[in-house]
Structure 1
Amino acid sequence: MKKILLLLAFNFIVLLSFGQFPEEPLKKHKPIPLFFLDSVLIDQIDLINFDPDDIAVISMLKGQFAVELLGEKAKNGVVYMETKGFAKKRYWNYFKSKSIAYSNLIPKVNEDNSIQYILNGKILKRDFEGDLASIKDDTFKTIKILSKRDLIRNFRINNKKYGVLIVSSAPSPSFIGQNPL
């Protein structure tokens, strides 16, 4: 009986000595912010399902403003992202509210393939959805519909039927001190 107890004690000591203890204490995880995609709260792991080329806008909220806006759960910050499709719906609705001519020209959100957007004199060719979606009442100045003739004469664009000329002042930094939601 003594032999069995001694053998068990020996095995226990051997197992303890070969057990895996970390050489360094486990590092603390960095705080993880809240993630929103198209105004929907998502988990960080969900981000792997999205193509980065489809993201139009990324904004961050930090500090007391984030907590005031979303509560204590936002104490580590908030990352707010919009896809190009979501941003497009936002600027389409906004421009419709500013121009009856725009609303008549583009009655549905995805019917602007024959339209050339021009922002502050710059021809927007690709990845412009975030720029247009960032225009708000405090930055918006004018919107004007251009004919094909005006597009060719003023901008040398001949592959679009119409132009949408938008004039805006520079936007303030994205969502800092503002409500993104």
Structure 2
Amino acid sequence: MKLHKDNTLSEMGSAIGKGLLAGIAATAAMTISQLIEMKITNREASDAPVKVARDTAGIKPASEQDKQQLSQELHWGYGTAWGVARGIIGLTGLKGLPATLVHFGAVWGTALFMLPKHDAAKPINKQKPQKIAIDILHHGVYAITAGVVYDALDEGNRRERKVKKILASLKGLKHRFK
């Protein structure tokens, strides 16, 4: 018994939607992680998103307030969009830690390539170990949160899980009476 008919488009749409939600949650977790770290290390907020936007789209905020607002908007949009990648990874059948590691590699690897290309960060071989560790920490928080949220959303709804459990129990009973 199937509760719904599976098809590729519905699976893709579902994965994208779950991925977007996971991306929002992961961006929130990463933002909190960064705020805590910035308080501990007395680091200023990064202007990397604005540098990339200026280099790729010619966007130049008019004021410091506009710069901070644009940076936050880009941070949240970028983080949310990377959730879609987690959804696509989920479509391959990967779950849990393997999917999280693939997602982490994609997100952090892109940052390692893209930010130096747009003069928004030094290449990794020119960064101090502490900065690399902090960057790994924040991207790890992002990937772990996205993975946990995506996998939780991907478990199916409560009614579907309950029906599957009942069907599994009935199959077990059927085999006992054979």
Structure (1 or 2) with the larger CA radius of gyration: 1
Q: TM-score, normalised by structure 1?
A: 0.27
Which has the larger helix fraction? 2
Q: Which has the higher contact order (CA 8 A, sep 6+)?
A: 2
Q: Which one has a larger percent strand, Structure 1 or Structure 2?
A: 1
